[in-house]
A and B are shown apart, each in its own frame.
Chain A
Amino acid sequence: MQMPEPDASVIARREAILTSLRKIVPAASVVDSEEGRRAYDADGLSAYRQLPLVVVLPETVQQVSDIMRYCHREGIKVVPRGSGTSLSGGALPLADAVLLAMGKFNRILDIDYANRCVVAQPGVTNLAITHAVEDEGFYYAPDPSSQIACSVGGNVAENSGGVHCLKYGLTTNNLLGVEMVTMEGEVVRLGGKHLDAGDYDLLGIMTGSEGLLGVITEVSLRILQKPATRRALLVGFDETATAAQAVGDIIAAGIIPAGMEMMDHLAINAAEDFVHAGYPRDAAALLIIELDGPEVEVDALIGRVDAIVNQAGASSIKISMTEEERMRFWAGRKAAFPAVGRISPDYLCMDGTIPRRALPDMMVRMATLSQKYGLRVANVFHAGDGNLHPLILFDANEPGELQRAEDFGADILRACVEMGGVLTGEHGVGVEKRDLMPIQFSEDDLKQQQRLKCAFDANHLLNPGKVFPQLHRCAELGRLHVHQGKMPFPDLPRF
Chain B
Amino acid sequence: MTKPSLRPETLAEILPIMAEAMATQQPLAIVGANTKSAIGYAVADATLVQLDRWTGVLDYQPEELVLTARAGTPMAEINDLLETNHQMLAFEPPDPRPLFGGDHQGTLGGVLASNASGPRRLTAGAARDFLLGFEAASGRGERFRAGGKVVKNVTGYDLSKLMVGSFGTLALMDEVTLKTLPRPETAISLTFPAADFSAAQNMISAIFATPYEASAAAILPSDMAAKAGLSGDMQVVIRLEGFAVSVADRAEHLLKAFDQGEKRDETESRRLWQDIRDTHLLADEDADIWKISCAPSSGAEVIASLMAEMTAADKSCPYYADWAGGLIWMAAPQYTSAGGNFGDMMREVVAQHGGGFAMRVRTADTNQGLNPHVVPPFQPLDAGRLALHQRIKAAFDPIGILNPGRMHQGI
Which residues does A use to contact B, with CB under 8 Å? Answer: 112-117, 136-138, 158-159, 161, 165, 169-170, 172-173, 182, 186-190, 192-205, 207-209, 225-228, 248-249, 251-252, 254-256, 293-297, 300-301, 353-357, 382, 385-387, 420-429, 433, 437, 440-442, 444-449, 451-456, 467, 478, 480, 482-486, 488, 493-495
Contacts and interface: CB of A to CB of B under 8 A. Distances in A.
B162 A113 contact: no
Interface string B117-141: 1000110011011000000001010
A198 B158 contact: no
Contacts of A295: 249
23 contacts: A137-B211, A173-B125, A188-B384, A188-B388, A193-B296, A194-B293, A194-B294, A194-B295, A195-B293, A197-B165, A199-B389, A201-B162, A225-B210, A252-B62, A293-B246, A385-B150, A440-B148, A444-B143, A455-B395, A484-B19, A484-B20, A485-B24, A493-B394
A200 B129 CA distance: 14
Contacts of B125: 169, 173
Contact of B151 (A192, A225, A385, A486): A385
- For chain B, what secondary structure do more than half of its interface residues adopt (helix, strand, loop), or is it mixed? mixed
B148 A485 contact: no
A42 B327 CA distance: 45
A293 B213 contact: yes
A233 B354 CA distance: 44
Given A194-B294, A197-B165, A387-B152, 7 more contacts: A194-B354, A196-B293, A205-B158, A300-B246, A424-B155, A441-B155, A448-B146
Nearest to B391: A455
Given A136-B209, A294-B213, A483-B23, A425 B156 contact: no
Contacts of A427: 154
Contact of A170 (B19, B66, B152): B152
Contacts of A483: 19, 22-23
B245 A300 contact: yes
Interface in B73-116: 86, 115
Contact of B182 (A251, A297, A420): A251
B335 to A, nearest CB: 23
B212 interface: yes
Contacts of A353: 148, 150-153
Contact of A204 (B64, B158, B395): B158
Contacts of B326: 194-195
A353 B170 CA distance: 28
Contacts of B392: 200, 452, 455
A116 B403 CA distance: 37
Contacts of A248: 63-64
Contacts of A256: 181-182
B7 interface: no
A196 B62 contact: no
A425 B388 contact: no
B211 A202 contact: no
Most A CB atoms within 10 A — which of B157, B182, B298? B157
Interface stretch (B30-38, B222-230, B258-266, B355-363): B355-363
Nearest to A214: B388
A429 to B, nearest CB: 6
Contacts of B297: 112, 114-115, 193
Question: Which of B22, B183, B250 has most chain A Cβ within 10 Å?
Answer: B22
Residue with the greatest number of chain B CB neighbours at <10 A, chosen from A192, A195, A355, A446: A195
B394 A494 contact: yes
Contact of A300 (B164, B243, B399): B243
Given A112-B297, A173-B129, A202 B213 contact: no
A390 B122 CA distance: 36
Contacts of B63: 248-249, 251-252, 356-357
Contacts of B154: 158-159, 170, 208, 424-429
Given A188-B385, A356-B63, A456-B388, A195 B121 contact: yes
Nearest to A194: B356
B394 A455 contact: yes
Interface of B: 19-20, 22-25, 61-66, 86, 115, 117, 121-122, 125-126, 128-129, 138, 140, 142-146, 148-162, 164-166, 170, 181-183, 185, 201, 205, 208-213, 242-243, 245-246, 249-250, 293-298, 323, 326-327, 354-357, 359, 378-379, 381, 384-385, 387-389, 391-392, 394-396, 398-399, 407-408
A195 B126 contact: yes
A186 B164 CA distance: 25
A69 to B, nearest CB: 14
A437 B162 contact: no
A448 B138 contact: yes
Contacts of A225: 208-211, 213
A195 B323 contact: yes
Nearest to B181: A256
Contacts of A200: 162, 165-166, 170, 388-389, 392
A101 B185 CA distance: 48
A426 B138 CA distance: 27
Nearest to A477: B395
B22 A482 contact: yes
Contacts of A455: 388, 391-392, 394-395
A482 B19 CA distance: 7
A467 B396 CA distance: 20
A194 B357 contact: yes
A204 B210 CA distance: 29
B62 A422 contact: no
Contact of A193 (B182, B354, B389): B354
B152 A114 contact: no
A252 B65 CA distance: 9
Nearest to B244: A300
Given A195-B323, A294-B211, A452 B23 contact: no
A420 B64 CA distance: 12
A294 B61 contact: no
Given A225-B209, A225-B210, A422-B155, A480 B148 contact: no
Contact of A116 (B201, B208, B355, B408): B208
A454 B394 CA distance: 10
Contacts of A161: 152
A357 B181 CA distance: 17
Contacts of A454: 391, 395
A449 B157 contact: yes
Given A200-B166, A441-B145, A255 B150 contact: no
A385 B154 CA distance: 13
B289 to A, nearest CB: 15
Given A196-B126, A199-B379, A254-B185, A227 B391 contact: no
B128 A196 contact: yes
